[in-house]
Structure 1
Amino acid sequence: MPNPGRPAQTLEGLWQGTLDVGGTTLRLVLNISTAPDGRLIGHLDSLDQGAMNLPIDRITFDGKRVRLEMKGLNAAYEGRLSEDGSDISGQWTQGGISLPLTFRRTDEAPTLRRPQEPKKPYPYSEEEVIYENRRAGVKLAGTLTLPRSPGPFPAVLLITGSGPQDRNETVAGHRPFLVLADYLTRRGIAVLRVDDRGVGGSTGSVTDATSQDFAEDVLAGVAYLKRRPEIDPEQIGLIGHSEGGLIAPLAAIRSSDIAFIILMSAPGLPGEDILLLQAAAIAKASGASDDVIAINRAIQKRIFDMVKRSEADRLTEERLREDVMAFIAQLPEEQKNIARRFTATLNRQIKMVLTPWFRFFLTYDPRPTLKKVTCPVLVISGERDLQVPPRENLPAIVEALEGGGNSDYQVVKLPGLNHLLQRCQTGLPAEYAKIEETINPVVLEIIADWILRHARRQ
């Protein structure tokens, strides 16, 4: 309800609306205030996507008409404030698509339920730590959790997935690594979780680094754990999720100090294959036609081929954009109309594919590395994982491990779980934030039991 104490013709405060995107509803919350210089400022929360504090670059308001501009989202909103100041009716435009959206005043924004997240005080010790990857000149900040029972303890270092991630691997309003660390520490396993380069308390840059560089960061973390008297130096392992499951083997083959690795939703195929499979799986699950999927694949392949053919310093955003637009222009008219749907996000995609991280990921094949892994391996995947589909990736991982002579591995594919290993309906990323479960309890139990069994064997 509107607050009667607030002047009607102002935008300050909280506003909530629901955007219907092809049958998927997204709850949006606007938080608008006035800066000291009199400008209206604010941010947007997309609750069901778990995307919070999205900056609004510009807010204009003439007493009736409202316009919000969000360059990072390639989006804008134009609306009209009602006479009583209780709602704004207008259109949300993003990527060339315009949808109706009404925001209504609210005194309290809804919150996302995350029942698995632990509440303090914890029944274990928690310590903020900083250590250094001296070779890269990078300082890494993290949290070390230690059981309160007598040690020394087996320990794991958690490795996040792609993109700039904090130590909790915060995604879609979930904090999977917080939940995982809490469960494992309660089971008697020490856990180190760390901010990625350039995130939180860590220095350096994510986009300028590659998976190989992140493997060096992991080894610095293993060395740090070895120096801790509470940790059993013979029982230090790695748990990598998504790209972290690609990084863990890279680290494991470089150090005999790593006793085991656990790969969660990990790739077993080259990056290009992963990206093409991912795009097709998500599009199909979203109801896209075969024609749309085929055109999207053709555009992706065009971009990937240019990145692979060109030297890093010679391929520019402008050249890549021009090539893709020329490719679309020569398509038959029906296909051209389909392809235009993807041009709205083209600029964001181009910026990403030109980074050192993407260039490495695109062509890196994890199988030769997996063949060199000699320590025990646990592989866990969700049957409904659309980002790293298990049907193609799990056999590749198994073939590589067996090809290298490693027989001490276990593969677990769990029905009904998605890429985050949540119980889900569709597996679509848009569903992640709507699910209250952060990690399926069966996954947590499997991981802890497996670690403790291997720790007792040593």
Structure 2
Amino acid sequence: MPNNFRQVKIQSKMKTVVTLIVVFIVSIVSAYSQNILGDWNGEAKRGEKLITFVFKIEQEDSKYSTTMSVPTFRVSGIKPSTTTFTDGKLIINGANVGMRYEGVFNKDTQQFEGTYKEGGVELVLNLKRGNVKTTDSRRPQEPAKPYPYYEEEVVFQNTEAKIELAGTLTLPNKNGKFPVVILISGSGPQDRDESFMGHKPFLVLSDYLTRQGIGVLRFDDRGHGESTGDFGNATTEDFSKDVLSAIDYLKTRNDVDIKNIGLIGHSEGGIIAPLAANNSNDVAFMVLLASTGISGTELSVMQSKTLRQFPIEDEVAYEKNTRKAIAIVTSNKSESEIKEELTTHYNDFLRPILTSLNVPDEKINLFIDGQLKTSLKPWSRYFLQYNPADEFEKLQIPILSLNGSKDTQVNAKINQEGIRQALIKGGNQDYKIVELKNLNHFFQECEIGNMDEYRKIEQTFSPIALKEISNWILKRI
């Protein structure tokens, strides 16, 4: 056989082998690099309730990003920090907003099969392609467009943090100059409507106030909705600087009465507000809704008892151990030292309690891990050491403080007394403190006030509370 023919035959065989290798590699790659872009949805069961999740996955510069919605709770615009897809495994890491999803793609069922984790809760969640159809589940008080006032989508900068904050400004009329209040949301990543448990309290509040002649600016928390930034590593002080940026923005507009810019803070927003006001000369008045008036440490100890979901035989020992955990978290030790010490303490303190209640080890581990992650966040360490009474004491502007008598998250009597004493100590001459009967933490008329009752109530915001807020403001502008 001629040499040149032998060489051609060998080259042909090599080409065939190479082709087979390429095909094999391509088949492996294609198996794990299918297009995952677009919407994925699924339902997870917690107790008797089905919770619907939707994840919109996008790609830019070879990196994936996800926006999460929970239609069941009418919450959208949640932005987990990272999304990865490797070897068929999808990880949506929302450490910045307290969640995580891990799923493995099943080629037979064409869905991701995995788990959703949030805090100490772990749910089975399988995701299939597509969005979900949602029915109009507006609560009775929610306004429908067109509104009888001017509405504008706005964006303003927090130049120090290098972030953009997106929100909605509503004014009684497109022409004129109006007083404006800035709404400040409670703890956790919130959108501009403070959407929670199927309600939109800030939408209802802003609509009511604007109809009464008071402009309103409400905005998505940093790193949430259409706002940029990192929510997970921000503190109460950082949020107060976002409010200062909102004040600066309003001062640039010729349709805002800059002598009548006010702050309305709900829950944590009520302790963000004084921080902002004490660093600005442009806040004319303040409304506190379910604000705390005691230190973060004392509030946390109180909530560890009232919001706890398991029984305790020795309450004295429980409080002692809770305070020890807080002392560890707020110490000046390094993060690694705090984590090691806190892990030991939680295992000595919480594990025996949960074991005695026949909680499986894997769920105990998940619960303790969730407690560790929450405790080590910058927000937690700042909050535990922050006493809003120190800031209330400095305020000389008019202040209205409202709390509901059936608020199980922020005890009205204890916290209002803290606010009252701070204002008296500071010599404030214009304040009003009111406990509204039968209202919960979100100012809904309620039976008990427990958190699981919020969703069941059709009312979003008590008309009595709305009227109290607007009447008080109108007398001061």
Query: What is the TM-score when the length of structure 1 is the normalising length?
Result: 0.77
Secondary structure of the corresponding residue to residue 348 of structure 2 = helix
Q: What aligned pairs does 1:47-62 form with structure 2 within 5 A after superposition? A: 47=72, 57-58=102-103
Q: What aligned pairs does 1:106-145 form with structure 2 within 5 A after superposition? A: 112-145=137-170
Q: Post-superposition shift, 1:78?
A: 10
Q: What aligned pairs does 1:19-418 form with structure 2 within 5 A after superposition? A: 20=47, 26-29=49-52, 47=72, 57-58=102-103, 69-73=114-118, 74-77=121-124, 112-148=137-173, 151-283=176-308, 289-291=311-313, 297-315=319-337, 317-328=339-350, 337-338=356-357, 344-418=366-440
| Distance across 2 between alignment mates of 1:251 and 1:167 | 18
Question: Does the C-alpha gap of structure 1 residues 298 and 253 become closer, same or farther in structure 2, counting only changes over 3 Å?
Answer: same
What is the one-letter code of the residue matched to 1:380?
L
CA contact (8 A) 1:159 1:193 kept: yes
| Distance across 2 between alignment mates of 1:249 and 1:45 | 32
What is the one-letter code of the residue matched to 2:49?
L
| Distance across 1 between alignment mates of 2:125 and 2:231 | 35
Residue of structure 1 equivalent to 2:93: none
CA contact (8 A) 1:152 1:230 kept: yes
Secondary structure of the corresponding residue to residue 361 of structure 1 = helix
Residue of structure 1 equivalent to 2:468: 446
Question: Does the C-alpha gap of structure 1 residues 235 and 379 become closer, same or farther in structure 2, counting only changes over 3 Å?
Answer: same
Q: Post-superposition shift, 1:377?
A: 0.1
CA contact (8 A) 2:335 2:376 kept: no
Tell me, which stretches of 5 or more residues in structure 1 are unaligned? 1-12, 34-42, 80-106
Q: Post-superposition shift, 1:383?
A: 0.8
Question: Does the C-alpha gap of structure 1 residues 113 and 338 become closer, same or farther in structure 2, counting only changes over 3 Å?
Answer: same
Q: Post-superposition shift, 1:344?
A: 4.0
CA contact (8 A) 1:317 1:351 kept: no
Question: Does the C-alpha gap of structure 1 residues 398 and 121 become closer, same or farther in structure 2, counting only changes over 3 Å?
Answer: same
| Distance across 2 between alignment mates of 1:377 and 1:185 | 20
Tell me, which stretches of 5 or more residues in structure 2 are unaligned? 1-39, 57-67, 79-98, 127-131
Greater Cα offset, 123-132 or 371-380: 123-132
Question: Does the C-alpha gap of structure 1 residues 109 and 132 become closer, same or farther in structure 2, counting only changes over 3 Å?
Answer: closer
Question: Does the C-alpha gap of structure 1 residues 412 and 297 become closer, same or farther in structure 2, counting only changes over 3 Å?
Answer: same
Q: Post-superposition shift, 1:426?
A: 1.9
Residue of structure 1 equivalent to 2:95: none
What is the one-letter code of the residue matched to 1:437?
Q
- In our comparison, the structure showing a higher alpha carbon Rg is 2
Question: Does the C-alpha gap of structure 1 residues 188 and 195 become closer, same or farther in structure 2, counting only changes over 3 Å?
Answer: same
Question: Does the C-alpha gap of structure 1 residues 136 and 110 become closer, same or farther in structure 2, counting only changes over 3 Å?
Answer: closer
Greater Cα offset, 49-58 or 397-406: 49-58
| Distance across 1 between alignment mates of 2:315 and 2:75 | 26
Question: Does the C-alpha gap of structure 1 residues 45 and 239 become closer, same or farther in structure 2, counting only changes over 3 Å?
Answer: closer
Secondary structure of the corresponding residue to residue 217 of structure 2 = strand
| Distance across 2 between alignment mates of 1:139 and 1:397 | 32
CA contact (8 A) 1:215 1:248 kept: yes
Q: Deviations over 1:186-237 (max 9, x none)?
A: 1111111111111122222122222122212111111211221111111110
Q: What value does the CA root-mean-square deviation take over the aligned residues?
A: 3.6
Q: Post-superposition shift, 1:109?
A: 6.8
| Distance across 1 between alignment mates of 2:410 and 2:418 | 12
| Distance across 2 between alignment mates of 1:132 and 1:426 | 41
The percentage of aligned residue pairs carrying the same residue is 38
The equivalent position to 2:454 in structure 1, one of 432, 436, 452, is: 432
Q: Post-superposition shift, 1:313?
A: 3.5
Q: Deviations over 1:338-363 (max 9, x none)?
A: 59686542212211211111111011
Residue of structure 2 equivalent to 1:9: none
Question: Does the C-alpha gap of structure 1 residues 291 and 241 become closer, same or farther in structure 2, counting only changes over 3 Å?
Answer: same
What is the one-letter code of the residue matched to 2:114?
E
